[in-house]
Structure 1
């Protein structure tokens, strides 16, 4: 874990969940706040006093590992928070994430820092487009797909914080099943990122990279590889839990309860995409809801 200065005005605290740093007229802002209080504390310690006072947090999306330091920062440093308009409610009511994953009142295994951050206010709601943060002129980019309203940030220098739109090679090749909320939208986001010029890229789970063309291709190809595998597992008609089990066996996945429900959401995102393409449909069969191939 270390603070890396990229330009006179922009840096990144590289860690398991990297945090962007924007120098402003009055001090500095963080892009996301990590998974818990200690994450933001370590970032602040690494940044030191050279960039002034800690003034704000700009959240890219509402997942717990990106907002975990918000509450501490508001309470102890008096910072102002900014978040995507479409996900602000999840930041203010983070227990909705485990409800979303489980489908009802969640099990205890989903009520921890990885799935349920501490509640925090969103002082300013953000939309895609031009945005001024004091003297910083930023461009907020629609990156929905991984989550319903994720935003990326392009700075004046052309540095592009892509949040979780792109995963690093180490995670893609190790896990293959990447979390997505809407696969169709996520694939469109990968195309959007590839088409935008940038001088460098800040990945939440991969640190700083100068180029991402090859990595975008890898992300896309593995997403589609998993999608093809899920289609194959539905060839004879199967419930989503059976498809998940088959995928887990094929990929050698070992899942605890929290990971299972996170991954199951991703599996269903793939199934929804296949239904949107007209390749799979749902039928009711003797008390079971089956995913079946659509006849040509």
Structure 2
């Protein structure tokens, strides 16, 4: 489903995700493309016109999986921030990052590994000429960006709905400190409407409510980690949190949560709230 916010800016609801686009008349610019080529094909059918340019907010599979479809069909140019490029051009790196090394099983999961696409460093001058401003909203991924057109912002995965937090209970974060900084950045933006991928088109007042919900979520996870940092390993802390929150994960979800817990531990070590000790392996203690 397509919905125009103004004469040029529109949203596309693919079911699990909501993306944004910019109508240039004879062609469109897309901000993210979905999890695979079937979603790309669905978006293409809805649009009914060529996609000249794709701007990926970050390198996660559910945002880049349709790139290859549009590049084959329209030879679409794809932009992304330099910090995400390696993961986009060589998508086996994303699951390898989660695991800490190559693991064939994770490479077969489309939620972690999309098809490779040919991506270039983002050209801010080209986008600026079209009235598109780039926002640094990293944290969920190393170099996640948002986009601002007039009083409309595309936040990608820099912010999550309450329904998503309730469903998954532990949001995947790469860098907790940068995620929290991005929440403050969003809070200070001058906008009227915002699109988040998971998911919806919201007024500014609702976005500010969601910022509070996301902050409370990170505070809850920090508290659970501190409670369970008693000379324990990251695996033991993760298991305790899974039990506390009644999460029964498959392997993919488990790896996402384990990676997130490690990110929190790094953050809490930096803030001086936990210390890492080596005692028959790496262990974490609350200070």
Q: State the TM-score, normalizing by the size of structure 1.
A: 0.92
2:126 pairs with one of 114, 132, 146: 132
How far apart are residue 109 of structure 1 and its match? 3.7
Aligned twin of 2:209? 214
Asked if 2 retains the 8 angstrom alpha-carbon contact of 1:57 and 1:79, the reply is yes
2:276 matches 1:277: no
2:80 pairs with one of 80, 83, 87: 83
CA distance in 1, matches of 2:128, 2:247: 46
Asked if 1 retains the 8 angstrom alpha-carbon contact of 2:41 and 2:69, the reply is no
Deviations 1:121-146 (A, max 9, x none): 01x3127xx54339621110001111
Name which of structure 1's ranges 104-113 and 172-181 shifts more when overlaid on structure 2: 104-113
Asked if 1 retains the 8 angstrom alpha-carbon contact of 2:127 and 2:133, the reply is no
Q: Unpaired runs of 5+ in structure 2?
A: none
Describe how 1:130-209 pairs up with structure 2 within 5 A.
131-133=125-127, 136-155=130-149, 157-209=150-202
1:228 pairs with one of 223, 229, 243: 223
How far apart are residue 110 of structure 1 and its match? 4.2
Count of paired positions: 284
CA distance in 1, matches of 2:12, 2:151: 18
How large is the RMSD of aligned CA atoms in angstroms? 1.5
Q: Unpaired runs of 5+ in structure 1?
A: none
Deviations 1:81-125 (A, max 9, x none): 111111111100010001111111114144321001101101x31
1:60 pairs with one of 57, 67, 81: 57
CA distance in 1, matches of 2:170, 2:154: 23
How far apart are residue 172 of structure 1 and its match? 1.1
